[in-house]
Amino acid sequence: LLNTASIPVGLDPVTVRVRTNTEAWVVDQVSDEISIIDLATNRVVRSLITEDEPADVVFAQNKAFVSCAGRESIQVFNLADLNAAPTEVLLKGEQPRALAVSPDGNTVYCAFFESGNATTVLNGNDFFSFAHGSNNGVCSPQGGCTQIPNDVLNPNGPYGGAVDASAGIVPNAGTGFEPPLNPVNPPTTDSKSL
């Protein structure tokens, strides 16, 4: 990699996403804004004000989706009219951060930082191809799996395949793990259509 420019943006830039060959968006978490960069001139050409603590931005279906951790929402900007007020989608979860778009561009996924609900254990050492018990499969780096990985039972996983309730080895059981499951904030089954 070769450093070709340093571009001043807002306070605490936490994410950079390239939208086109000539445009990048920088998420400035402390200054609550998005800095839009013209890559040909290496200048900020526009700033979009966001809700509190923007964390990530992704693009799908001619829209920009911005997670706002402090507001627990996603703001949806219309890329064809950035002067229009964004649509806000309130979420059931604390500190929405990372966003991802499905390969077909029809779904935006949001990861919460502090909700503690619906935890999934994934083994970083053996994720893309797995075989344990009758659960064999392959996961694609672009998204999607042929089977749901069960890394708790995987001998190469973080628990070595050991699930022993008598010894207290039951990953994510009960409320004794950190962050604890809050019974008044159960995992959501809601989905929003944008």
Q: What are phi and psi of 29, to 5 degrees?
A: -65, -45
Question: Does residue 136 share a domain with residue 108?
Answer: no
CA distance 116 to 184: 12
Per DSSP, the residues of 158-194 read: TTTT--BGGGTB-TT-TT-SSSPP-TTSPPP------
pLDDT in tens, 126-166: 444 444 444 455 444 444 455 545 555 666 555 565 555 56
Q: Nearest CA to 190 among 115, 87, 92?
A: 92
Question: In residues, how long is the chain?
Answer: 194
Is 100 part of any domain? Answer: yes
Q: Nearest CA to 57 among 29, 21, 91?
A: 29
Confidence tier at 190 by pLDDT (50, 70, 90)? low
Question: Does residue 122 share a domain with residue 38?
Answer: no
Domain of residue 84, CATH code: 2.120.10.30
pLDDT in tens, 84-128: 999 988 887 788 899 988 888 888 888 888 765 544 444 444 444
**DSSP category for residue 86:** P
Entry pTM: 0.62
Question: Does residue 99 share a domain with residue 129?
Answer: no
Q: Which of 112, 137, 169 is the last residue of a domain?
A: 112
